[in-house]
Chain A
Amino acid sequence: MLVSERDNVVVQGLTGRQGSFWAERMAECGTRIVAGASPGKGGREVGGVPVYDSVAEAARQHRLDVSVLFVPPLAVRKAACDAISAGVRKIVLLTEHVPYQDVMHVLGEARDSDAQVLGPNTAGLVVPGVASVGIMPGFAGNIFRPGSIGVISRSGSLGTLVALNLVSAGYGQSAFIGIGGDPILGTTTLDAVRELDADERTEAVVLVGEIGGSMEEDAADYIATMRKPVVAFIAGRSAPPDRRMGHAGAIVSAGKGSGTSKVDALTSAGAAVVDLPSGIGDALKAAGVLPGVAV
């Protein structure tokens, strides 16, 4: 999922502390926030943005393309379904600890309505110079700058480190897609790779994976068919097996989902796999992608 300068964004949970704080940061990045939705808070305004009781109501007054949810875990299912049934086609689920079966329900509704879902447990989406939807520091010039590198990351903090390393190495980003740290995700690594492959502004893809699950392996067949260079970093390769480290997705069992299995799959697919994020710039140069930022 990407976001363009024409996309209208509704913030669900805009009246909350996080919702209002991040709406302001997102607006700084150029994001067109046209409405908020918070049950029972309709009629208010937050930073000049009108708030409605539901997305359905907001949709009667505005064209809505993207919804970003700042709502608590157990309220996500209802809020996301509100946005989907109101016709919003891009849904960004930031919340961590959403019950998996609620996520599956939302993804079922999204599939039937041709809506795309990013997350849950994602830091969101940044198109530097255009928009930022979520909780990434899209406003920080030393971390995000318009450019030609498309970044995919499960983690917000590690994604920030990678984005920072790219800018330090002289590159900018065409997009940052935070896919989320949960095992069940609306947008998988493969979905995000396809999206960036089709994106005209993206010259090369930086894939930030993690041990656990098989999303990186599942993307390898497609990566093998790509013309655009792919540089990958897999976090957690030094982790002891069978220990859960933070993300629900990051558990290694019986060699499956291990760093080695992911590195092998990606290397065979023609991706350059680096040992640490600080090696990404050199790997891009070696792949013939020159540093530079877009104007």
Chain B
Amino acid sequence: MNLLEHQGKQLLAQAGLPVPRGRVATTPEAAEQAAAVLGCRVALKAQVPAGKRGKAGGIVFADDPAQAREAAAGLLGSELGGNAVDAVLVEQSADIARELYASVLNDPATKGPLVLFCPSGGMDIEEIGARDPELIRRLAVDIRTGLTAASARALVEGLGLGERVEEQASAALLTMYRLYRTVEAELVEVNPLVVTSADDVVALDAKISLDPGALGRHAELVADLVPDQDATGTELERRGRDLGLQFLELDGEVGVLANGAGLTMTTLDAVTHYGGTPANFLEIGGDAYTKATPALRLVLDNPRVRSLVVNFCGAFARTDVMTEGVLTAIEELRPELPIFFSIHGTGEEKAIRLVRERLGVDPYDTMDDAVRAAIAAAAPAGKVAG
């Protein structure tokens, strides 16, 4: 779960890392007022969970409250990287002498936390890495012992930052690591970590991503943060999210219902491979079969969908149970579009029998055959799919 910049900064500030003075505004009037209170040149930053805001025009500067009001009016209600801008952070414009990069993240390669520090920040870490990989310092941390002050210090030394900045930068790394642990983040990234002309170290941006699996242990944090999240996606996608389903609306014509992320992606690949266009990604494995009716309704409410593939491969999830759920949903919703089944694995004999008995159709022997039939059925009359 990605936090917005102001949410991340609030956590960082609470943990002890300095951030610029700022206020969140959801109306131009509030932005004007915030600028007046700050009493200096301000930056207005669109609060969306997406990177590269500067390049996309999501950061605007204002010299006085009237300008701030005007800038906020332009940003609020606009769209940035597919996200609606509902709020702006009005922040004291930073006095930047130097930009650094710092992050703590989960590293699949070392199977533990990784601390990254780079004396040249501001741009994407991938770009820095591509340009000059030697510049990025990395430290794999044993999560059982944690990041020590000495190793944090070693990460920032020998780069000509000077004693005062080194001390603050290593303190920033320790704070970020502590926060990464306490909120169980997947990522705590500060880019840029700014050195001001007075040699103060300040977090100018904050990207924090929380581990969804650990949210249950952070009820207070979640209660504070969640309301601002996830206004992204289409109306159907938001409906799916409210139902707890993984649903993505795509622009094709063949609807897909499958169990398991890997199998669902493969079904989409097959639709594409055989010349069709998938209408959605929807995974209904595991417990999601209990939501078969609302799930099927999501697929059918997509105005572009013309046929449907149901592809089940049972390992843990039993295909007979999933099929039962889908058949009940079909009987309830009585969709007019043609449906093509492929069913294999745990519970398949019963599942296939159920489809025959209740729909009077035979599942296909292979996923490939079911997909090809669905593509042919989705093709407009007179046009035959290859």
Task: Tell me if A282 is interfacial: C-beta within 8 Å of chain B.
Answer: no
A239 touches B268 (CB 8 A): yes
From A137, A159, A218, name the one whose CB has the most chain B CB atoms within 10 angstroms.
A137
Who on chain B is nearest to A18 by CB?
Answer: B316
Known: A157-B315, A158-B260, A160-B314. A100 touches B265 (CB 8 A): no
> What mask results when residues 134 to 156 of chain A are scored 1 for a CB within 8 Å of chain B, else 0?
01110010110000000001111
B344 touches A160 (CB 8 A): yes
Cross-chain contact of A101 among B211, B212, B268 (Cβ < 8 A)? B211
Which residues of the other chain, B, contact A97 by a CB distance below 8 angstroms?
Answer: 212-213
A238 touches B278 (CB 8 A): yes
Task: Tell me if B113 is interfacial: C-beta within 8 Å of chain A.
Answer: yes
Q: Is the interface of B mostly helix, strand, loop or mixed?
A: mixed
Q: Which of B189-237 contact A (CB under 8 A)?
A: 211-214, 216-217
A157 touches B258 (CB 8 A): yes
Task: Tell me if A2 is interfacial: C-beta within 8 Å of chain B.
Answer: no
Known: A107-B111, A276-B270. A235 touches B143 (CB 8 A): no
Q: How far is the CB of B320 from chain A (nearest CB, A)?
A: 13
Q: Which of A149-206 contact B (CB under 8 A)?
A: 153-161, 164, 168, 181, 183-186, 188
Task: Tell me if B151 is interfacial: C-beta within 8 Å of chain A.
Answer: no
Cross-chain contact of A123 among B108, B186, B315 (Cβ < 8 A)? B315
> What mask results when residues 231 to 261 of chain A are scored 1 for a CB within 8 Å of chain B, else 0?
0010111111001011100100010100000
Stretch at the interface among A34-42, A84-92, A209-217, A283-291: A209-217
Question: How many A-B contacts are there with CB distance less than 8 Å?
Answer: 180
Known: A104-B113, A275-B269, A275-B273. A161 touches B344 (CB 8 A): yes
B268 touches A238 (CB 8 A): yes
Which residues of the other chain, B, contact A140 by a CB distance below 8 angstroms?
Answer: 345-346, 348
Which residues of the other chain, A, contact B108 by a CB distance below 8 angstroms?
Answer: 183-185, 188, 213-215
- Please report the C-alpha to C-alpha distance between residue A160 and residue B285 in the assembled complex, in whole angstroms: 14
B106 touches A160 (CB 8 A): no
Q: How far is the CB of A31 from chain B (nearest CB, A)?
A: 16
From A137, A160, A185, name the one whose CB has the most chain B CB atoms within 10 angstroms.
A160
Residues of A within 8 A of B (CB): 73-74, 96-102, 104-105, 107-109, 123, 135-137, 140, 142-143, 153-161, 164, 168, 181, 183-186, 188, 208, 210-211, 213-215, 218, 233, 235-240, 243, 245-247, 250, 254, 256, 275-278
Residues of B within 8 A of A (CB): 106-109, 111-113, 124, 126, 142-144, 181, 184, 186, 211-214, 216-217, 246, 248, 250, 258-266, 268-273, 278, 281, 283, 285-286, 312-317, 344-346, 348, 366-368
In the assembled complex, 11 residue pairs joining A and B whose CB atoms fall closer than 8 Å, in A order, are: A74-B217, A97-B212, A137-B345, A155-B262, A156-B316, A157-B258, A181-B262, A210-B265, A237-B269, A247-B262, A276-B270
- Contacts A218-B109, A278-B368 aside, 8 further interface pairs with beta carbons under 8 A come to A100-B184, A137-B346, A158-B266, A160-B345, A235-B262, A239-B265, A247-B261, A247-B262
